[in-house]
Amino acid sequence: MMLIPCPFCGPRNEDEFSCWSEAIPRPADPSSLSDAQWVDFVYNHRNPKGPVREQWWHARGCRRWILVERDTRTHDVLSASAAAP
């Protein structure tokens, strides 16, 4: 079990959340990307070993997006903060 420290609700069990993806910047001008580049951005993720910043949605709680830094080797949660609107 992984406890995620929601900045709005406090520590919660991971089953209250949905992990979306690694938190990477959106392209500055998405309309300038080819279809293949857009598909690559949306569906292909690096999946590195070690600390990663991810976007999580607190689906069964405050229903807000948060950023979680998590070590993918151990699943240790290193930090959590509110996602920018």
In this predicted model, what pLDDT tens digit does every residue of 7-64 receive, in sequence order? 999 999 999 999 988 998 889 999 999 999 999 998 998 889 999 999 999 999 999 9
Alpha-carbon gap, residue 6 to 16, rounded angstroms: 10
Mean pLDDT for 79-85 is: 92
Alpha-carbon gap, residue 61 to 17, rounded angstroms: 8
Give strand ranges (E) for the chain. 3-6, 10-13, 18-22, 51-57, 65-71, 77-82
* Domains of the chain by start residue, with CATH: 1-23+49-85 (3.30.2270.10)
Predicted TM-score (pTM) of this structure: 0.83
